Structure 1
Amino acid sequence: MKKSFLFILFTLTSIFSQAQYKVDFTEKFKKENQGKYKIEINEVKELVHIMIAITKSGIENDDMVEQKGKYYQDVITHFKPYENEQIIKIVDSLLVASIYNYIFLTGNGISYDFKGNKLIKNKIFDFPATTISKNTIKENPITTYKIAIEDFANKSKFREFYNNHKPYYAEIISSYEKNANLGKQWKWLEKNFKTTQNSYAIFCSPLIKSLNYTGDFKNNNFKLIYMVLPPLDKMEKLSERENELFNTRVMFTEIDHNYVKEPTLANQETINQYFKGRKEWTNEDIEGVSAYPNPVKVFDEYMTFGVFVLYCKESYDNKDFLSAKESVISLMKERGFPKMQEFTDKLLKVRSENPGTKIDDIYPEFLKQFQK
């Protein structure tokens, strides 16, 4: 399949940090969600993913849309007859105009709910996706195209399709609850970092392929970590434990961005000094590296995966730890980060010399390892 534009893993804290007033965490919401996490295939968000899947851009890009499996075939069979609807052409034009519109569209899906055949505003999430990097939108696109989206949903009988697939959605959610170890990861991260979170939400879609992202919402003294992820993989060639490690890595390296961020920013002057040799730390010939344009971004990506290696060291036996470490080194090299071996070895060394110390507090000693 043609890939019409590059898709990479985004850390979208900036999407939310400039729009905190666009969520409203009521006291009722806080009480119901404190210390808890939820996994959801949100109805309106799934409608947006389906609309994207039948656009010309979606059909041509198997990085943007997961095109394997029975669910995708069900989507194509049911919805492709409606590919010439005006709203589908509009969505396609938005995707052609900018990669970021994929997130502005899907990220704002949670801001509406269905009531019968009509879309009504969600009481908690008003306008959750407004800014990505330097790209800002002034109006929620779901609001802009609300009537056309309602018409498409009604004409295509989307709600009937969604209800018929609820058993499949339930399987995806159950797999996350049984196999992703979110609670275990959360507990480890809050034990080992100074940052704490009030709640987590995972918004999943069977149509998500390579674009995973995470961010946070803060409102009314409550912080919610928001993640957009595909269903868990179960690869036949891997053992049950290897599948667990793979899926844990996918989730963990999204979650821990929210913990690594603060100590990284607190030490950014040193990081800018020691990681300024871009050719040393990145392989510019590999697509996607340009998404990490400065030393802090580069270091943060190394550290995110490095902390996952620490987690494996302290959570699994030596065989599984070594397997996880080697897979991370290999993956990072493929992604354009060639010095993961050196980075990880230094991190493991400093961690072993400072047992029980918060990772925030070992940053200065760890960064000294890179002084020349």
Structure 2
Amino acid sequence: MKKLTIVFLLISFFAQAQEKVNFTEKFKKENQGKYNIEVNEVKELLQIMIAITKTGLENDDMMQQEGPYYQSVMKQFKAYEKEPIIHTFDSLLIETLINNVFLTGNGISYHFKGNQLVKSDVYIFPAGGVNGVKAVENPITKYKKELEDFAIKSDFRSFYKKHKKYYAEIIAQYEKEANVVKQWKWLEQNFDTRINAYTIYCSPLINGLNYTSEFNNNNFRLIYMSLPPLVTNSYMSSIENELFNTRVMFTEIDHNYVAKPTNEHKIQINEAFKDRNYWVNEAVQGIDAYSTPKYIFDEYMTYAVYLLYCKNHYKEADFNAAYTATDQVMDARGFTKMKEFTDKLLTVSAENEGKKIEYLYADFLAKF
């Protein structure tokens, strides 16, 4: 299968559409201080439709193509790969894989009522822009009739209902093992940013394309994440699995905290990271998604902050394992100076014990 490095992880994903959510007083009251994990029905329909496009079938980085769930998807839905709407989606993905985000990210703007898709009162057009690329129209609105027809023809709703027990198991594992509250608390101890609620949308079909955004409406800030299920690898120890899963989630969450100080120090970052060829390997597919010094810095910073978290919460041997694994992952993604970046941040943090991370930026950037 073709491998593509497509993990964008940019806080700006939905920035252009933040005004197109509607956090009512009722919504705020029901969600304040809480986190929610969901395998959303409409998003799962879109994930399945993308999975049977030619692009989805060829891309085992974007789509999780192992395990019984994927086999069940192929058994029921691959027969519909020639449908015109699947061809349309494939054309969109060929144009840019960012369209995966526009399609799945806007899935929450509708819900099923019988065989009809009904607009959400909360999420109107949640995924409107990615790294400077804008969606002119909510694609779920544009392809509403085709989505409804595909769901009926393929008997999608029965498939979703049949797998609800499995979805519940995914959610239960997150609630038991993900340490969301622990990460949330630590980040708010180390940054001034305050978030009112977290929502994690999960799909068994997600592999390498994870994304996050923050919605800010009616004095309520919500972090939105699209993530794969937690991983339990038999060849890894329990602590290794925990570190792996923590990295996947933490490096999504902390984009929303790193963004503010990064923007405040944009001038210094642009100067320190202007030599693009030094900081990234242009030969790695997907690195062009990080098109500016700020985006490059922000990606390094999110992973370095994860390692600071590990240093605060794990034994030295476990931290060292996380440090090595993170350096290897980032290098493979084209971020070749992770060790240099992290070592500088660890040094500055040790020199300023007790100081919030966002107030380390000036001293930290002075080292480059």
**TM range, smaller chain:** over 0.9
Of residues 155, 168, 171 in structure 2, which corresponds to 1:170?
A: 168
Q: What one-letter code is carried by the residue in structure 2 that aligns with 1:353?
A: E
Match of 2:300 in 1: 302
- Which stretches of structure 1, 4 residues or longer, exceed 6 Å deviation after superposition? none
Alpha-carbon distance, 1:133 to partner: 2.2
User: Does structure 1 conserve the Cα–Cα contact (< 8 Å) formed by 2:210 and 2:226?
Assistant: yes
Match of 1:232 in 2: 230
Match of 1:96 in 2: 94
2:12 is paired with a residue whose SS is helix
Q: Counterparts in 2 of 1:7-156, with a 5 A limit? A: 7-156=5-154
Supply the distance in 1 between the matched residues of 2:62 and 2:108 (Cα, whole angstroms): 19
Supply the distance in 2 between the matched residues of 1:326 and 1:33 (Cα, whole angstroms): 37
2:256 is paired with a residue whose SS is helix
Of residues 345, 348, 368 in structure 2, which corresponds to 1:347?
A: 345
Q: What one-letter code is carried by the residue in structure 2 that aligns with 1:301?
A: E
Cα offsets for 1:163-218 (capped at 9, x unmatched): 10001001111111111111100000000011111111111111111100011111
Alpha-carbon distance, 1:12 to partner: 4.1
Supply the distance in 2 between the matched residues of 1:355 and 1:86 (Cα, whole angstroms): 59
2:14 is paired with a residue whose SS is helix
Q: What one-letter code is carried by the residue in structure 2 that aligns with 1:127?
A: F
Match of 2:207 in 1: 209
Instruction: Please state if 1:293 is matched with 2:259.
Output: no
Of residues 316, 326, 329 in structure 2, which corresponds to 1:328?
A: 326
User: Does structure 2 conserve the Cα–Cα contact (< 8 Å) formed by 1:263 and 1:360?
Assistant: yes
Query: Unmatched 5+ residue regions in structure 2?
Result: none
Instruction: Please state if 1:218 is matched with 2:193.
Output: no
Supply the distance in 1 between the matched residues of 2:78 and 2:241 (Cα, whole angstroms): 33
Alpha-carbon distance, 1:70 to partner: 0.3
Alpha-carbon distance, 1:83 to partner: 2.1
Supply the distance in 2 between the matched residues of 1:124 and 1:330 (Cα, whole angstroms): 40
- When normalised by structure 1's length, the TM-score is 0.96
1:285 is paired with a residue whose SS is coil
Of residues 354, 357, 364 in structure 2, which corresponds to 1:356?
A: 354
Structure 1 residues 73 and 273: alpha-carbon distance in aligned structure 2, compared to 1, 3 A threshold: same
Q: What one-letter code is carried by the residue in structure 2 that aligns with 1:100?
A: I
Q: What one-letter code is carried by the residue in structure 1 that aligns with 2:136?
A: K
Match of 2:310 in 1: 312
Supply the distance in 2 between the matched residues of 1:235 and 1:149 (Cα, whole angstroms): 35
Moved more, 202-211 or 341-350: 341-350
Supply the distance in 2 between the matched residues of 1:182 and 1:24 (Cα, whole angstroms): 25
User: Does structure 2 conserve the Cα–Cα contact (< 8 Å) formed by 1:205 and 1:231?
Assistant: yes
Supply the distance in 1 between the matched residues of 2:146 and 2:275 (Cα, whole angstroms): 50
Supply the distance in 1 between the matched residues of 2:188 and 2:294 (Cα, whole angstroms): 22
Structure 1 residues 334 and 13: alpha-carbon distance in aligned structure 2, compared to 1, 3 A threshold: closer
**When the two structures are aligned, how many residues end up with a matched partner?**
368
Moved more, 15-24 or 65-74: 15-24
Supply the distance in 2 between the matched residues of 1:138 and 1:284 (Cα, whole angstroms): 30
Match of 1:282 in 2: 280
Of residues 234, 249, 252 in structure 2, which corresponds to 1:251?
A: 249
1:253 is paired with a residue whose SS is helix
Q: What one-letter code is carried by the residue in structure 2 that aligns with 1:242?
A: E
Alpha-carbon distance, 1:100 to partner: 1.8
Alpha-carbon distance, 1:309 to partner: 0.8
Match of 1:180 in 2: 178
User: Does structure 2 conserve the Cα–Cα contact (< 8 Å) formed by 1:10 and 1:214?
Assistant: no
Alpha-carbon distance, 1:239 to partner: 0.1
Q: What one-letter code is carried by the residue in structure 1 that aligns with 2:116?
A: K
Query: Unmatched 5+ residue regions in structure 1?
Result: none
Q: Percent identity?
A: 60
1:15 is paired with a residue whose SS is coil
1:10 is paired with a residue whose SS is coil
Alpha-carbon distance, 1:40 to partner: 0.4
CA RMSD of superposed structures (Å)? 1.4
1:364 is paired with a residue whose SS is helix
Q: What one-letter code is carried by the residue in structure 2 that aligns with 1:79?
A: F
Moved more, 332-341 or 62-71: 332-341
Moved more, 145-154 or 281-290: 281-290
Alpha-carbon distance, 1:103 to partner: 1.1
Match of 2:2 in 1: 2
Q: What one-letter code is carried by the residue in structure 2 that aligns with 1:269?
A: I
Alpha-carbon distance, 1:21 to partner: 2.2
